[in-house]
Structure 1
Amino acid sequence: MTTRPLQGRVAVVAGATRGAGRGIAIKLGEAGATVYVTGRSSREGSSDVGRSETIEETAELVAAAGGVGIAVRTDHTAPEQVEALFRRVEKEQEGRLDLLVNDVWGCEQYIDFERKFWEQPLSNALIMQERAVRSHLITSYYGVPLMVARRSGLVIEITDGVDYSVREGAGVGYSVAKVGNIHLAAALASELKPYGVTAISLTPGFLRSEQMLDHFGVTAETWRDAPDPHFRVVSETPAYIGAAVVALASDPALFEKTGQAFSTWRCADEYGIRDADGSQPHWGNYYASIRDNTK
């Protein structure tokens, strides 16, 4: 594989302000892609998440990595804004869209680990469906036609997990949203198959995102001092899922696997991807071992 396997490709990473989305956008830039970086957090104004990261910063990091980064402030729950985004892509890229990554989330503050579904505000679960399912539907609705027209392309749904099992502890709203993303990829794959467009889902393991580092009171350099033992042993940086996306988008035989649920650790096994420090965190094996030890 060449060092810039995605040279000339056009990508939209929806929800690229921070975390997995930012890691994916940067790695796509490193691989030579033109990346439209979207989200609500901008230098023009912050979202209700209230963090300092912006889409402009991500676009600059894409450019620094060797790609073309284009920041477009977009609320992906607003159909008219999403439609305008893809009209812009169509105009500026002469109809070309090779990759759409649906990573919109922004719901960390609505996860309640202490109370049952019926004991917490109903709005918590509904907001998760609005931002993590409805937004993905809207984004695919307006983005997919560009791929259908060219009879090629790849849609990746970023989620949590590789199956339809309950996400224990995180709540009903979270489980429904994340399972919904996996099913959305499978359903899209079914309809897009006659047009040569691939759709898959992809999950990271224990993500060492900016928010998670802050949650544990550590930095990218001191993460091994985190109080959570699992985080210290097997967490992964956003660069790892970014490398997974590049590997998947570069696989000439990926269409044969359309509809499947991928993970960063599966991509490590199949494509040999590595995290920023050269390691290959394998959350699947780790989780299986701790689950077996608690039986």
Structure 2
Amino acid sequence: MKPLEGRIALVAGATRGAGRGIAAMLGEAGATVYCTGRSVRGQPASGPKRPETIEETAELVDARGGRGIAVRVDHSVEEEVIALCERIRREHGRLDVLVNDIWGGEQLVEFGPPFWKQSPAKGQLMFERAVFTHLLTSRYAVPLMVEQDRGLIVEVTDGNSFSYRGSLWYDLVKMSVIRLAFGMSRDLRRTKVTALALTPGFLRSEEMLETFGVTEANWRDGAKVEPDFICSESPFFVGRAVAALAADPRVRSKAGRVFASWDLAREYGFTDVDGTQPHWAEHFERTYRTPYKIADEAAYASWLDGSIETVRPNWPVY
């Protein structure tokens, strides 16, 4: 029997990237996975004209041994989120895993200019798409967990450090998602529903593969363009992290904290689909000779006065 056989999961933002990988690996573990997003066959979402659709993601779930259910949902529209959660209740009566990976900020992030030269309109829209949607989805999905007094909520973010992510609005969004997991865990502390945050490393998403002119089959060639790409991970790696968390009977001990795919791989013993076990933090510290994670006041003070310089390579946003 697969570890998540019989479990019901919702991956909000499953069209591509980490969301697609997470949905597929929950399927690999035996789960039924609702795959939501705005891009469906014949009707791509506004914004970047990418070919991926939620139907393709659901098919990947099926191919991996689970059951994929594609549902078009704009998670910024309350009525659509309510309808989704009512459908899950009607069809299954419960929800075991909620993954909030809604993003939609590809064309909104401004790296380089200081915040006083950035577009407030873009920043506000990014916050609405990548934070408010998470909270709205949780508002209506989490009651399905509370009613059974069991469940896991995973907030997908970028980075598990206190260091600056290169753009004020982007940094605010990704730190807010971590705080959202912490805040939900406080409200859920008298239940057996666990909320936590999770980050992938250098994600080998569809967009990244195209950016570096490679495919998943020859992805290592991308390091000729960007040396850090040699420590990249496929979206399935963070997907296996979510599946491992969902299958862990002691996951409650992780409530309210932020975790990284590379650390969980060593804890739970899983690998990426190519058999590797990339560790982004070790690669970063070895390459840039600087701490990856700034987690205490003394280190933060050193970073502020310039004695620790954090580095964010100039990658496209995944």
| SS of 1:180 mapped into structure 2 | helix
Deviation at 1:248, TM superposition (A): 0.5
The letter for the 1-side match of 2:74 is: D
**Which residue of structure 2 aligns with residue 219 of structure 1?**
215
Q: Kindly provide the CA deviation profile for residues 67-98 of structure 1, in whole angstroms up to 9, marking residues without a partner as x.
A: 111000000111111111000000000x2100
Deviates more, 1:118-127 or 1:178-187: 118-127
**Which residue of structure 2 aligns with residue 254 of structure 1?**
251
Structure 2: distance between partners of 1:140 and 1:163: 24
Alignment partner of 1:275 is 2:275:
no
Residue correspondence of structure 1 range 31-70 to structure 2 within 5 A: 31-48=29-46, 49-70=48-69
| SS of 1:87 mapped into structure 2 | helix
Q: Kindly provide the CA deviation profile for residues 140-163 of structure 1, in whole angstroms up to 9, marking residues without a partner as x.
A: 001111101110000000001113
Normalised by the size of structure 2, how large is the TM-score? 0.88
Deviation at 1:187, TM superposition (A): 0.6
| SS of 2:189 mapped into structure 1 | helix
**Which residue of structure 2 aligns with residue 135 of structure 1?**
133
CA RMSD of aligned residues (A): 1.3
2:194 pairs with 161, 176, 198, which one?
A: 198
2:159 pairs with 151, 158, 161, which one?
A: 161
**Which structure: greater helix fraction?**
1
| SS of 1:150 mapped into structure 2 | coil
The letter for the 2-side match of 1:67 is: G
Deviates more, 1:39-48 or 1:194-203: 39-48
Deviation at 1:109, TM superposition (A): 1.6
Alignment partner of 1:287 is 2:284:
yes
Q: Kindly provide the CA deviation profile for residues 246-277 of structure 1, in whole angstroms up to 9, marking residues without a partner as x.
A: 11101100101211111101111211110011
Structure 2: distance between partners of 1:161 and 1:64: 30
| SS of 1:156 mapped into structure 2 | strand
| SS of 2:289 mapped into structure 1 | helix
| SS of 1:178 mapped into structure 2 | helix
Alignment partner of 1:20 is 2:10:
no
Is the CA contact 1:163–1:182 (under 8 Å) kept in the aligned structure 2? no
Structure 2: distance between partners of 1:287 and 1:24: 24
Is the CA contact 1:186–1:259 (under 8 Å) kept in the aligned structure 2? yes
Structure 2: distance between partners of 1:62 and 1:257: 26
Residue correspondence of structure 1 range 93-242 to structure 2 within 5 A: 93=92, 95-167=93-165, 169=166, 171-226=167-222, 227-231=225-229, 233-242=230-239
How many residues get paired? Answer: 289
Is the CA contact 1:163–1:179 (under 8 Å) kept in the aligned structure 2? no
| SS of 2:204 mapped into structure 1 | coil
Consecutive unaligned residues in structure 2, runs of 5 or more: 291-307, 310-318
Normalised by the size of structure 1, how large is the TM-score? 0.95
Deviation at 1:44, TM superposition (A): 4.4
Deviation at 1:9, TM superposition (A): 0.1
Deviates more, 1:143-152 or 1:41-50: 41-50
The letter for the 1-side match of 2:251 is: L
Deviation at 1:43, TM superposition (A): 1.1
**Which residue of structure 2 aligns with residue 90 of structure 1?**
89
**Which residue of structure 2 aligns with residue 263 of structure 1?**
260
Structure 2: distance between partners of 1:223 and 1:259: 34
Structure 1: distance between partners of 2:119 and 2:180: 26
Deviates more, 1:222-231 or 1:248-257: 222-231
Identity percentage of aligned residues: 53
Structure 2: distance between partners of 1:123 and 1:229: 34
